[in-house]
Structure 1
């Protein structure tokens, strides 16, 4: 992005020095004053000052919005719009951040800051998914937004950052499935638990939750007396995650029943075993 955080800090310092040199004591005009007689650049710099020197992103939004209102279609208005999105995000006003970022993309789709606007759109969802217990709709939207950055702007720093965040968000979805599966398993609702753990194995197999999901499948199938499925889950776990403590747990459960971690039967797990372990996809 043209306006990196480092550049913002440097520009803000320059603004504060210039204000002090003008005899204003280094303090910009208050947010409540009329700005009609100020130039677009002067208002814009007040926004930068509020954002970086005073750490008041909501005040910064006001100044950047005024630039857009008083000087529409100008270069400063374009700059102010992307800074509105950034300031809203800093203020944790995520819906407003999305709105400003989307307006930037609608008005300036070919601009050099379009990649950053798309990235802010994705972040506005991503930064709200830290709580596993919340509705996962935000996580799906974050994944879509991050995918858009990766596909549309593959050679940018934002794409590289999006790849890392995509993996974390994907892992977050798997964690939610595991949480629900454990809930059902603890209460003896084995079929419901199996359905959740199956989702992790089939759809989130690249996440960190797959070893536990296979161990929990072993446990749930043993509880139902479905030994072929339990042994097959143990076989997949042993082949891919032999050093995992989850394999040790599953192995102990199987041995306690006189069983081995061996693929048996013709269940969905057997198909996974054939595909993943034996490479037989047909």
Structure 2
């Protein structure tokens, strides 16, 4: 441990001892006593205590100490540092609403500071980290995409931009997965028109995701079930042009040839337009 680190550790311990001497804890065993005033301590000392609580895994207590700096020394450089640490403390404690609130305040108050990019990234993570399964409501996914786009567009040269791009792609794929889940649900129940509407959204709006090949295959299935052979053949042609080596194309090819059909562009429909874009390299 360096001399500087040792001094910081001693300062934190001194603050702990000082606060403990002021009165008993009201927050339960191991919790900080939030009834005591911190006005007698410098912002650096309070900041050290916040870091001390973080190291012990007491994220909520750490956030409270950082918030006290913001309250007691609102115009100091320590308040700016403490605010981003608040957002971080709340986030690792999975208190996403408070993390989001602190991060947004940082962005509003200090948009030109170096940590503004990290604040925007934490804001995005406060939505993104709650996306855990396809079946959940997609409102969080849309909000995550918007916040991640903020990182990518506003802070393209920051160290968080690459991670934001990756997470944006994953969240985008997540939305496509939701459309596929609903489409398959309708398809299993022979609600073919409703299923087609969902698969069409994936093909038109989520072309770059991992779900596009299956969406085209499901369109072949749904259109054949409705007797719309032109659309089914055209969907198969798009699938063959872009994903010929996939199992989805093999299945679609078998379905079509089993009915004496083949993957080819037929008619003048929305799928024919997609195929023309594919040939010109304007799709995917």
Q: TM-score higher than 0.5 here?
A: yes
* Partner residue of 1:157 out of 138, 151, 159: 159
Aligned residues: 269
For 1:54-133, list aligned pairs within 5 A. Answer: 54-133=56-135
Per the TM alignment, residue 23 of structure 1 is displaced from its structure 2 partner at its CA by 11
Per the TM alignment, residue 35 of structure 1 is displaced from its structure 2 partner at its CA by 2.1
Per the TM alignment, residue 279 of structure 1 is displaced from its structure 2 partner at its CA by 5.3
Distance 1:46 1:86 in 2: 15
Structure 1 counterpart of 2:176: 174
Distance 1:152 1:249 in 2: 44
Gaps of 5+ in 2: 21-30
- Superposed CA RMSD in Å reads 2.3
Matched-pair contact (CA < 8 Å) for 1:12–1:49: no
Matched-pair contact (CA < 8 Å) for 2:135–2:178: yes
- TM-score (norm: length of structure 2): 0.88
Matched-pair contact (CA < 8 Å) for 1:236–1:277: no
For 1:205-224, list aligned pairs within 5 A. Answer: 205-224=207-226
Per the TM alignment, residue 211 of structure 1 is displaced from its structure 2 partner at its CA by 0.5
Structure 1 counterpart of 2:277: 275
Structure 2 counterpart of 1:34: 37
Deviations 1:143-187 (A, max 9, x none): 111111111111111111111111001101100000000000000
Structure 2 counterpart of 1:16: 9
Matched-pair contact (CA < 8 Å) for 1:108–1:114: yes
Per the TM alignment, residue 12 of structure 1 is displaced from its structure 2 partner at its CA by 7.5
Per the TM alignment, residue 34 of structure 1 is displaced from its structure 2 partner at its CA by 3.4
Structure 2 counterpart of 1:266: 268
Per the TM alignment, residue 227 of structure 1 is displaced from its structure 2 partner at its CA by 0.6
Distance 1:194 1:153 in 2: 39
Per the TM alignment, residue 248 of structure 1 is displaced from its structure 2 partner at its CA by 0.8
Gaps of 5+ in 1: 1-9
Q: 1:59 to 1:197 in 2, by over 3 A?
A: same
- TM-score (norm: length of structure 1): 0.89
SS of the residue corresponding to residue 157 of structure 1 reads: coil
Structure 2 counterpart of 1:48: 51
Distance 1:241 1:271 in 2: 17
Matched-pair contact (CA < 8 Å) for 2:234–2:272: yes
Per the TM alignment, residue 15 of structure 1 is displaced from its structure 2 partner at its CA by 3.6
